[in-house]
Amino acid sequence: MPQRRHPSPVEKPAQIRVGIGGWTYAPWRGPFYPEGLPHARELEYASQQMSAIEINGTYYSTQKPATFAKWRDETPDGFVFSLKASRYATNRRELAGAKDAILRFVHSGIGELGPKLGPIVWQFAPAKTFNEQDFGAFLSLLPEQVDGLPLRHVLDVRHPSFACEEYLSLARLHNAATVYTDSEDYPSIADRTADFVYARLMRASTAFKAGYAPKVLDAWAERLRIWARGADPADLARVSTGRPAAAHPQDVYAFFINGAKERAPAAARAMIDRL
């Protein structure tokens, strides 16, 4: 039986980090990136507008240590990257056999990010169903640190079979967060499984300049604040009732991803303004 990973103590006040997925997207040039900004400076600019970016490219291909170091040097202090782990670790029939793929990703140079290394997202295919023994074996393979940096793991499970107590218990055992997905396409599993919260907001629409109606953004801002104070994401009633949250603050990561992607930067900035 694997040992439970105890949540690390909160040494600093809980932070709410808001960002987007990636930084290279042609429709952002003009509406988000200033006219004439060199493409090579887009990460520098985006990282000054928000506090986190989720990198999708690491899901498809292995990056070099020098690339991670470059990203680190182009971004300001306090900024963090969330990395989507290699698909070769998660898109497989038997997850228990993912050890080599997991280690290749973790030791690919991500430690070069230093304090800018944020959570690692392990994304599973929508068709991947929950198997308690196999998934438990996979979670036991996830390392707790790399190059002396503690690792935070996030599970992006996309099949309804994961909405069960057996899955929640396994995720809690390993202090691995479950993505709170705001989407019409994937299940939204709100139960807290780690000492931090990770949300992916995927309902942006071109009908609104900031991707979402102002009242919807207001509600999300209040929800993020309440989560940061320690509320369980499953207890959304706290938003309307104002009941006190749990005693322990927790970091919150919220990314505007997919939907009307061209609106993602505006949505992130609108949320940051509210917070």
- Chain segment 179-188, per-residue pLDDT in tens: 999 998 898 9
**In this structure, is residue 4 part of a structural domain?**
no
In a domain? residue 9? no
Identify whether 2 is part of a domain. Answer: no
**Tens of pLDDT, residues 61-82:** 999 999 999 999 999 999 999 9
- The C-alpha atoms of residue 153 and residue 26 are separated, in whole angstroms, by 30
Residue 247 has pLDDT above 70, yes or no: no
pLDDT at 240 over 80: no
pLDDT band at 1 (very low <50, low <70, confident <90, very high): very low
The DSSP annotation for 135-188 comes to HHHHHTTS-SEETTEE--EEEE--SGGG-SHHHHHHHHHTT-EE-EEE-SSS--
Task: Tell me, yes or no, whether 135 lies in a domain.
Answer: yes
Question: Residue 8: pLDDT above 90?
Answer: no
> For the domain that residue 120 is a member of, what is the CATH number?
3.20.20.410
Domain for residue 6, yes or no? no
Residue 177, domain member (yes or no): yes
Residue 264's pLDDT is what? Answer: 97
Phi and psi at residue 205, to the nearest 5° = -135, 145
Number of domains in the chain: 1
> Which residues span the domain enclosing 121?
16-274
